[in-house]
Amino acid sequence: MNEKPRFDAEPLNLPQGLTMPGGDPYDAAVPPIYQTSLFLFDSYRELEDVFAGRSPKPIYSRGDNPTVMLLEEKLAAMEGAEAARAFSSGMAAIAASVLAFVKPGDRIVTVHHVYSDAFRFFEKVLKRFGVLVDYIDGSDTQAMLAALPGARLAYLENPTSMVFAMQDLKAIAESARQHGVVTIVDNSWATPLYQNPLALGIDLVIHAASKYLGGQSDTVAGLVAGSKELIGAINREIYPYTGAKLSPFEAWLVLRNLETLPFRMRHHHEAGLAVAHWLKDQDSVTQVFHPAFSGHKGLAGFKGFGGLFSFEVAENIDIPAFVDALKLVRIGVSWGGPESLVVPVKAAMSISPETNVFVRFGVSPRTIRLNVGIHSSQDIIADLQQALQKAG
């Protein structure tokens, strides 16, 4: 067991010197918001050159918009990718990235405890269009490798949602490449600062920018990054036709908040581990689901941890009473922003039970997810302590 943090949480520097496509005549320190749907052309010749792809000028903001392009360029640099595409949400990025590569009769491999709405997308949409979906325990590398031959795509999330189970991305990527399987990893939890799936051989990286990249609970956004070839396929096969583009203003919000990502992540890493270690010592807590405690081989790919994890309370804890007794820690579903938040699985068990990921993969209703926000670990611990006492 890795009882002590053993990761260098030193933040990487954000890429410097990226400028607006086409440049900014005023050298604005902060990029302008190009709040326009269309771009004008001086001549027939210029229009024809842009249509023919001989000139990169944006045409219409459902396709390209300079503020959004800057965010795409920045995320690509942070992930060590050739290209990236922004979307109106993390789910739009997930749906497009999968739909660009599958057709009826194909099989995809994914993991238990995948993000709840990614699970519903597989169950409700992919299956309806004749795509087979194999759910594998992603922490079992042999089982993952055995499922890859013949699959079209492997959809991973490291760590997974709610129980934070790990995968060995390097081993899976290597085998997937041999079998011609496209690999996608949801990297929202670790951010490009703490995990770089592309460097481990993965093909495409997804971010729910609504979480840490946005970091301020004020926007919903998504991104996918990878090679020019694969991002090109997403652009060609699906992106313009589903219309799930990111607005220039929301791209600007994410760009602004990226500036503080290294500082925020260092706090989430440290405070998250401190709270997780404290919870582990409590009699009223039976289990803490934090990757640091997993002892999994996939840990080698992490440079640090997110501040989102979960724990299971003992039978004697009245869960509604515990949740209601919290004061600093609020009740809410998202994560990655300044708020410290809880989500009790018990309350989520009733959501469409036939496609409920917690029911399907057997998450205990005594599990509570905790988002360690920008509060100090001492303040969060004090709040958890008084609430556990009241509810016990």
Out of 186, 203, 250, 312, name the contact with ligand PLP by CB under 6 A. 186
Q: Is 210 in the site for ligand PLP (CB under 6 A)?
A: yes
Q: Is 304 in the site for ligand PLP (CB under 6 A)?
A: no
Q: Which region among 12-20, 105-113, 168-176, 206-214 touches ligand PLP (by CB under 6 A)?
A: 206-214
Q: Is 344 in the site for ligand PLP (CB under 6 A)?
A: no
Interface pattern 109-128 for ligand PLP (x via CB under 6 A): ------x-------------
**CA atoms of 101 and 293, how far apart (whole Å):** 35
Q: Are 71 and 15 in contact (CB under 8 A)?
A: no
**CA atoms of 84 and 86, how far apart (whole Å):** 7
Q: Which residue is nearest to ligand PLP (CB)?
A: 90
Q: Is 220 in the site for ligand PLP (CB under 6 A)?
A: yes
Q: Is 208 in the site for ligand PLP (CB under 6 A)?
A: yes
Give whichever of 261 and 388 is closer to ligand PLP, judged by the CB atom: 261
Q: Is 358 in the site for ligand PLP (CB under 6 A)?
A: no
Q: How far is the CB of 78 from ligand PLP (least distance, A)?
A: 17
Q: Is 306 in the site for ligand PLP (CB under 6 A)?
A: no
Interface positions, 67-106, toward ligand PLP (CB under 6 A): 89-91
Q: Are 327 and 335 in contact (CB under 8 A)?
A: no
Give whichever of 88 and 175 is closer to ligand PLP, judged by the CB atom: 88
What is the SS3 assignment for 341? strand
DSSP string, 184-238: EEE-TTTHHHH--GGGGT-SEEEEETTTTTT-SSS---EEEEE-HHHHHHHHHHT
* Single-letter code of the amino acid located at 258: L
Count the helices and strands in the chain (H runs, E runs).
Answer: 15, 12
**CA atoms of 93 and 78, how far apart (whole Å):** 17
Q: Rule CB under 6 A: which residues touch ligand PLP?
A: 89-91, 115, 157, 161, 186, 188, 208, 210-211, 220, 222
